[in-house]
Structure 1
Amino acid sequence: DEKGIFQELNFQTQLNILQKNNCSSITSFVEDKEFDKLCNKKQFIENIYKHNIKWYHLPISDLSAPDSEFKYQWQTKKVLLKKELIIGKNILLHCWGGKGRAGTVAAILLIEFGENKNEAINIVRAKRKGAIESKEQENFILSYRPIN
């Protein structure tokens, strides 16, 4: 069942685990059309908020690099995510498979904290086999420039 990971009871259990592990936010990179296949988006968001976890939505097309709309939204969201990490919170980044889009954003967050671009890719791939799935995503990371 495609929706298995987000079945109501299972998702509640996962949210409880995230809450107990100091997770302050969930950032979704799936597009709305993917949400329709994944779960009921409204319930998904409501359940997250019921657990006092913040939710951010920064859609990226599957296997693609972030587009100009993402880059615009990222300027504010990265500040919030970095602040959460700096104060010792954990964050969850997710896409459909948890490798391409989530991996790409994990790498640019590392760059935001001063990590070398190639090393950021290596760190993410060491933690998540197959992460940063496309050449387009890799090139995005290699050309990424933090803007303060």
Structure 2
Amino acid sequence: MSAVIRALSVAEGIVAICPFPGADGAFDADMAHIRDWKPALVISLTPEAEMVALGRGDLGAKFVEQGARWLHFPIADYGVPDAPATESWRGIERAALAALRGGGRVLIHCRAGQGRSGMIALRLMIAGGERPVAALARLRQVQPEAVETPGQMNWATSKPG
């Protein structure tokens, strides 16, 4: 199983990051593990082409079949959202914060569950009221490779426009 779920409390809920389900070939086991974790919301950061290359263009539908709300926020590997994507992020952030404040679980994944996933988790932690430096330290306690580039750090810690 490759989908190790790295979780921490945020607001009244739990944010977690993990690698792409089935990246090591154990898709069914990974999806069962995620289903048993019971996320209220799953945010996929892998672009569609990356999902297809990993053999899972249907990943969003699989999450929905398991009872999770699924939102797609594609970001290129090692990348950050551009201005239009950042604008669309606001709605995703509102949904994630609502789930967290209601005691729900939000699962974020990219390919490896590190840079992109860490960037989004950090952004949610800050939006949930944490100070950036403390939030990053706490996040890196569960995933040392979270937030891989200076650009990802800048985007995660920037004030909403």
The answer to whether the superposition gives a TM-score over 0.5 is yes
Other-structure match for 1:141: 156
Q: Which runs of 5+ in 1 are unaligned?
A: none
* Cα RMSD after superposing both structures: 2.1
2-structure distance, mates of 1:17, 1:6:
11
2-structure distance, mates of 1:78, 1:114:
13
2-structure distance, mates of 1:122, 1:60:
23
1-structure distance, mates of 2:68, 2:61:
10
The AA in structure 1 aligned to 2:107 is L
Paired positions, count? 141
Deviates more, 1:44-53 or 1:87-96: 44-53
Other-structure match for 1:24: 40
Runs of 4+ in 1 over 6 A off after TM superposition: none
Other-structure match for 2:130: 115
Residue 37 of structure 1, CA deviation = 1.4
Q: Which runs of 5+ in 2 are unaligned?
A: 1-19
Identity %: 23
Structure number with higher relative contact order (C-alpha < 8 Å, ≥ 6 residues apart): 2
Residue 146 of structure 1, CA deviation = 4.0
1-structure distance, mates of 2:39, 2:87:
25
Structure showing greater radius of gyration is: 1
Higher strand share: 2
2-structure distance, mates of 1:84, 1:41:
26
Query: Aligned to 1:91, what secondary structure does the other structure show?
Result: strand
Other-structure match for 1:39: 55
Q: Is residue 131 of structure 2 the alignment partner of residue 131 of structure 1?
A: no
> Following superposition of structure 1 onto structure 2, how do residues 83-122 of structure 1 map, counting pairs within 5 Å?
83-122=98-137
